[in-house]
Amino acid sequence: MKQYAVTIAGGGSTYTPDMLEMLCLVREHFPLRRVVLYDIDAERQSHIGRFGEILFREYYPGLEFFYTTDPQKAFADVDFVLVQIRPGGLAMRELDEKIPLRRGIIGQETCGPGGFAYGMRSVPAMIELVRQIRRYSPEAWILNYSNPAAIVAEATKRVFPDDFRLINICDMPISIMDIFCPLAGGRKRHDIEPRYYGLNHFGWFTAMYDKKTGEDVLPEILAKLQKGNCDRELGFSGKNDAYWNFTFRHLEKMVQDFPHSLPNTYMQYYLYPRTMVAHSDPAYTRANTVMDGREKRVKQYCDEIAELGAIRGTRFDLDQKYSAEPKRGTDGGFESATIAHNDAHATYIVELAMSIAQNRNDVFLIITENNGVVPNLSDGMMLEVACRVGARGAEPFRLGCAGAFEKGLLEGQYAYERLTVDAALEGSYQKALMALTASRTVGDAELARTLLDEYISANGAHFPALK
Ligand code: NAD
Ligand code: G6P
Ligand code: MN
What is the spatial order of strands in the sheet that 202-210 belongs to? 192-199, 202-210, 262-263
Residue closest by Cα to atom 3 of ligand 1? 13
Whole-angstrom distance, CA of residue 261 vs CA of residue 324: 39
Pocket lined around ligand 1, Cβ cut-off 6 Å = 9-10, 12-15, 39-41, 44-45, 84-87, 89-90, 125, 129, 145-147, 149, 170-172, 345
Percent of all residues in the chain with a pLDDT value above 70, rounded to a whole number: 96
Whole-angstrom distance, CA of residue 431 vs CA of residue 422: 6
b/e for 69-106, b at 16 or more Cβ within 10 A? eebeebbbebbbbbbbbbbbbbebbbbbbbbbbeeebb
Query: What's the number of CA atoms in the CB half-sphere (13 Å) around residue 350?
Result: 27
Q: Are 340 and 298 in contact (CB under 8 A)?
A: yes
Whole-angstrom distance, CA of residue 406 vs CA of residue 326: 40
Whole-angstrom distance, CA of residue 462 vs CA of residue 465: 9
CB-based contacts of 253, cutoff 8 Å, min separation 6: 272
Atom of ligand 1 nearest to the CA of 298: 3
Ligand nearest to the CA of 200: 3
Q: What's the pLDDT tens digit per position in 407-423?
A: 999 999 999 999 999 99
pLDDT of residue 328: 45
b/e for 427-455, b at 16 or more Cβ within 10 A? ebbebbbbbbbbbebbeeeebbebbbebb
CB-based contacts of 201, cutoff 8 Å, min separation 6: 110, 111, 115, 148, 149, 150, 170, 172, 264, 266
Question: Residue 389: in which H helix or E strand, if any?
Answer: strand 382-390
Closest by Cα among 258, 272, 264 to 204: 264
pLDDT of residue 320: 80
Q: Residue 304 pLDDT > 80, yes or no?
A: yes
Closest by Cα among 90, 160, 143, 150 to 116: 150
Q: What's the pLDDT tens digit per position in 160-203?
A: 999 999 999 999 999 999 999 999 999 999 999 999 999 999 99
The type of residue at 111 is C
The type of residue at 136 is Y
Q: Residue 25 pLDDT > 80, yes or no?
A: yes
pLDDT of residue 337: 53
Neighbours of ion ligand 3 (CB under 5 A): 170, 172
Pocket lined around ligand 2, Cβ cut-off 6 Å = 109-110, 147, 170-172, 286, 290, 342
Q: Are 70 and 132 in contact (CB under 8 A)?
A: no
Kindly name the residue from 18, 171, 191, 343 that is annotated as catalytic.
171
How close is the Cα of 333 to the center of ligand 3, in Å? 20
In 60-171, where does DSSP find H-type helix? 71-75, 89-101, 113-136, 149-159
User: Mean pLDDT across the chain, nearest whole number?
Assistant: 95
Atom of ligand 1 nearest to the CA of 90: 2
Residue closest by Cα to atom 5 of ligand 2? 172
Closest by Cα among 133, 167, 155 to 351: 167
pLDDT of residue 319: 82
Q: What's the pLDDT tens digit per position in 330-352?
A: 344 555 555 545 578 999 999 99
How close is the Cα of 23 to the center of ligand 2, in Å? 21
Q: Mapping DSSP to helix (H, G, I), strand (E, B) and coil, where does residue 374 land?
A: coil
Q: Mapping DSSP to helix (H, G, I), strand (E, B) and coil, where does residue 148 land?
A: coil
Q: Are 466 and 428 in contact (CB under 8 A)?
A: yes
Residue closest by Cα to atom 15 of ligand 2? 290
Kindly name the residue from 67, 145, 266, 348 that is annotated as catalytic.
266
Whole-angstrom distance, CA of residue 167 vs CA of residue 180: 26
Residue closest by Cα to atom 30 of ligand 1? 84
Segment 48-54 shows an average pLDDT of 98
Q: Is 171 a catalytic residue?
A: yes
Atom of ligand 1 nearest to the CA of 172: 40
pLDDT of residue 339: 53
Atom of ligand 1 nearest to the CA of 168: 41
pLDDT of residue 241: 87
Whole-angstrom distance, CA of residue 121 vs CA of residue 355: 31
Q: What's the pLDDT tens digit per position in 64-93?
A: 999 999 999 999 999 999 999 999 999 999
Burial bucket for residue 307 (CB in 10 Å: 0-12, 13-18, 19+): exposed
pLDDT of residue 336: 56
Question: Residue 144: in which H helix or E strand, if any?
Answer: strand 141-144
Q: What's the pLDDT tens digit per position in 223-255?
A: 999 999 999 999 988 888 899 999 999 999 999
Burial bucket for residue 282 (CB in 10 Å: 0-12, 13-18, 19+): middle
Q: What's the pLDDT tens digit per position in 98-139?
A: 999 999 999 999 999 999 999 999 999 999 999 999 999 999
Atom of ligand 2 nearest to the CA of 345: 7
Give the strand pairing for 262-263 and 202-210: antiparallel
Q: Mapping DSSP to helix (H, G, I), strand (E, B) and coil, where does residue 300 land?
A: helix
How close is the Cα of 74 to the center of ligand 2, in Å? 26
Residue 59: C-alpha distances to residues 52, 56, 117, 304, 463 (Å): 10, 5, 41, 18, 42
In 272-374, where does DSSP find H-type helix? 273-278, 286-292, 294-308, 318-321, 343-357
Q: Mapping DSSP to helix (H, G, I), strand (E, B) and coil, where does residue 284 land?
A: strand
pLDDT of residue 338: 53
Residue closest by Cα to atom 29 of ligand 1? 84
Residue 169: C-alpha distances to residues 94, 209, 254, 338, 375 (Å): 23, 21, 24, 20, 22
pLDDT of residue 239: 80
| Probe residue for ligand 2, chosen from 97, 110, 178 as the CB with the greatest number of ligand atoms within 8 Å | 110
